[in-house]
Amino acid sequence: MDATSLKKLNLKNKRVAIIDLGTNTFNLLVAIKSDSGIQRLLSTKEGVGLGLGGINENKLSADAIERAMQTLTKFCEMSRKLNAEIIVAFGTSAVRNAVNSNQLLELAEKNLALKIQVISGKREAELIYKGVCSGYVFSEQGLIMDIGGGSTEFILAGPNGVEKAESFEIGVSRIYQLFKFSDPMTTKDCQTVIEYLEKATGDFFEGIKCAKLIGSSGSFETFYKLSHDIDLPDDQYVNMNSAFLLKGLDRIIASTQKERDENPYIIPIRKKMAPLAAIKTKWIIDKLKIKELVISPYALKEGVMSEIN
């Protein structure tokens, strides 16, 4: 079921489960929306690596489909134990680009009675924006950045709403599987990534002058944990000075695989790709001369929740 279809149902004050099938990570939110706001009953994530083994060939590998079904089965069981009245699922970059995505969609519908709605990059950006706005007010212009395994969304917004938005198929899983990198990454490796990003994003950033970056959950939660040695506070938007963040990003980029493997603040699926997310974020900070970062705990699934009437 598409998120827009939720508007036609009377789901207010009912338990709704939302599954976001990200290219690296699957996210689950079970919540109730009422006139007083959103009550979160469960929010969890699991590294699946749906894009590993075939994303640059626009395929889902057999192993990836198996991992996806295992996690979807688990998420559906968790949702039903919480008496969710409806479970909705959304496939993003890896699913929408895979020529064999129907294999996963058919398995989910047959085995779990779960219909996965494949959404466009434009729709993904729209939902991310709505998710961020669930708890953040744009009193001034800001650039939302959502780093995914398959795609990365950039949404320029201000007091009057979205000014410019685009979803680029430049996710960290794509980059990780496209190039061979040293361990730790070299200056040349970093430049290779930057040149790739510059070419892929074209003239999108021309004319954008924005001092505030809003990082949408995911990798930005990891950046916060590694910079502060504590978990990101639940359901809170936090501010970070860009100079302080840059020091943390440099440490991630310079880290070895062994160091990341031993770090408890990096979830397993991000241990291989954290330097790529750090390079991408540093590139944006330098490119736009960002002064302040706001980390949003909310993203696509909260955007879906916001559309419930």
pLDDT at residue 229 in the model = 87
d(CA 91, CA 97): 10
The domain locations on the chain are 3-119, 132-299
CATH superfamily of 132-299: Exopolyphosphatase. Domain 2 (3.30.420.150)
> Do 3-119 and 132-299 come out as alike in CATH topology?
yes
d(CA 53, CA 59): 8
Q: What pLDDT digit, counting tens, does each position of 52-89 carry?
A: 999 999 999 999 999 999 999 999 999 999 999 999 99
pTM: 0.96
Q: What pLDDT digit, counting tens, does each position of 172-210 carry?
A: 999 999 999 999 999 999 999 999 999 999 999 999 999
Q: Is the pLDDT of residue 284 over 90?
A: yes
Q: What is the mean pLDDT of residues 277-286?
A: 98
Considering the domain 3-119, what is its CATH architecture? 2-Layer Sandwich (3.30)
Q: How far is CA 306 from the centre of its chain?
A: 17
Q: Where does the pLDDT of residue 5 fall: very low under 50, low under 70, confident under 90, or very high at 90 and above?
A: low
| Nearest residue to 26 via CA among 65, 57, 55, 61 | 65
Give the chain's mean pLDDT: 95
| Three-state DSSP class for residue 163 | strand
Q: Is the pLDDT of residue 263 over 80?
A: yes
Residue 212 forms beta bridges with which residues?
292
